[in-house]
Structures are given as C-alpha cells and as structure tokens.
Amino acid sequence: MLERLQAQVDFALELDRLKSVQRRTTLADASRLENSAEHSWHIALMAVVLAEHGPPKLDVERTVRMLLVHDVVEIDAGDTFCYDETATVGKAEREELAARRLFGLLPDDLGQECLALWHEFESRETPEARFANSVDRFAPLLLNIATEGGSWRRHGVERDQVQRRLAPIGDGAPALWEYTQRLLDQAEERGWFAGGSGPDEPSEPA
C-alpha cells in the first residue's frame, strides 16, 4: 500500500509542472498568458456548467475526468499552438509518448484508466469525448472575444482558420456551435481577425 501511495504522490508532484506550461491565450483581463493547468481547471468546471447544452444523458463525471487529464501530456510535449502548422507536425507522436510516460508513473490500474480517458478524448468517438472537445475549443474562443481578438490578432489568424478549428463544436454541442457563430460574426464585424479593421491592437500581456 505504501508503494502505491508513493506512486500516486509522485504523479501528483509531477502534475505541478503543468502550471509552468504557458498557452498563447491570455486571461480575460489580458493581464498575462494563461497556463495549461488553469485551462484544464477552467474547462472542467465549464463542462459542469454547460452540461445541459451537451448530448442527452451525458456522463458529466466522465467528461470532467477526461478534461482534467487531456492536457497532462503538455508537461513533456509542451503546448502546441493550434494555428502553427509547422509546430503541429509530429504532435500526435510526441503526445502519445508523453501520455505513456506520465500515466506510467501511476499504479498500473490508475495509469491505464487515465491513458484510456486520454485516448477517448483524442479519438472523439463517444458523446462525452465530443462534448469535452467542444468545451476545450469553446473556452479559448471566449478569452479571445474578451480580449478583442487576443491571440488571433497577435498571431495573424484569419476567420476561416478559427472556423475550421472550432468546427468540432458543431457535432459535440450544437447549441454552443450556434452561439460560436454569433461570436465569430461579432469578431469579424469588429475587425478582430487578421486583415480586419477595428480597434487598436491589444497590448501584450504584462
């Protein structure tokens, strides 16, 4: 039992490293970049709050567990900016290796459970995985809207790129997809995508 507990504690300490992985999106107040641990917490709670907009009979607990483990791989693989085509080359392989190492720190039963949840999220084959993916993509949208284009404008992202990135929301949470379109229309009208005309470029986070 002590050996099992030690493995769990070692994994818990390894998770602390996720707090140091920076993402490209800023907080809603634009004060700084968010980190991957904050993102994971945020979307897990969002899944609870938005569950009524998901598929019927959604297993919310399973969805939340999926969201809490899905970015753990970034401890080893880092956060890959989804609009950087060069950086995404080899992403799946890097993250698979990271998942096997990190979840391998746990006792076998827990490690296999976490690895299965991670694979389920990546494959998007269950209603829970599709909803989890929807929330994962919906959260950065909200932050970019709150910061007047935020990372879209800083990195020269066009609407069609965002549209393709967010498309899976459509089959995971149709109600959120309809709302997403309204937000994208608003962003385009205000010139928050690359090539648009709108308010001055938002300042870099402190």
Domains of the chain: 2-21+34-189 (1.10.3210.10)
CA distance 203 to 116: 41
**How would residue 175 be classed by pLDDT, with cut points 50, 70 and 90?**
very high
Over residues 144-162, the pLDDT tens digits come to 999 999 999 999 999 999 9
Over residues 82-136, the pLDDT tens digits come to 888 887 788 899 999 999 999 999 999 999 999 999 999 999 999 999 999 999 9
**How would residue 1 be classed by pLDDT, with cut points 50, 70 and 90?**
confident
CA distance 205 to 33: 7
Q: Does residue 202 register a pLDDT over 50?
A: no
The whole-chain average pLDDT of the chain stands at 93
Q: Does residue 206 register a pLDDT over 90?
A: no
Q: Write b or e for each residue in 22-51: b if 16 or more Cβ atoms lie within 10 A of its Cβ, otherwise e.
A: ebbbbbeebeebbbbbebbebbbebbeebb
Residue 201 has a pLDDT of 44
Q: Please give the helix or strand (H or E) that residue 26 lies within, else none.
A: strand 22-26
**How would residue 195 be classed by pLDDT, with cut points 50, 70 and 90?**
low
Query: Could you tell me the pTM of the whole model?
Result: 0.91
Cβ atoms of 75 and 144 closer than 8 Å: no
Tell me the mean pLDDT in the region 185-199: 82
